[in-house]
Amino acid sequence: MDEKTRQSTNRMSKVEDYKVLITKQFDELEVMMNKQMHLTDPQAVEDKMYSVNYKWHFISEEDRDFYQGCRHALDNGLKW
């Protein structure tokens, strides 16, 4: 494998690893919301949301909708 191919493969691997991390963080956020933690421990939910917020470029449309729903529930004190 030449150097250019190796670098391209390495970049793709990093992006895929990053996407796996984002999925894990969204899964954790979903568990928190299902446990109503946005009502009982809003700071923990806020912190989790902050951890994915800056990755917006890599977030799917479905996850963006979920994030917006979480934000609405958190901001308005709504049950999930």
Rounded CA-CA distance 80/57 in Å is 26
What does the pLDDT read at residue 18? 85
Q: pTM for the whole thing?
A: 0.82
What does the pLDDT read at residue 4? 60
Cα 80 to chain center, whole Å?
17
What counts of helices (H) and strands (E) characterise the chain? 4, 0
Nearest to 47 by CA among 66, 62, 32: 32
pLDDT over threshold 70, residue 62: yes
Residue 42: CB partners within 8 Å, gap ≥ 6?
Answer: 74
Count of all residues that appear for the chain in the document: 80
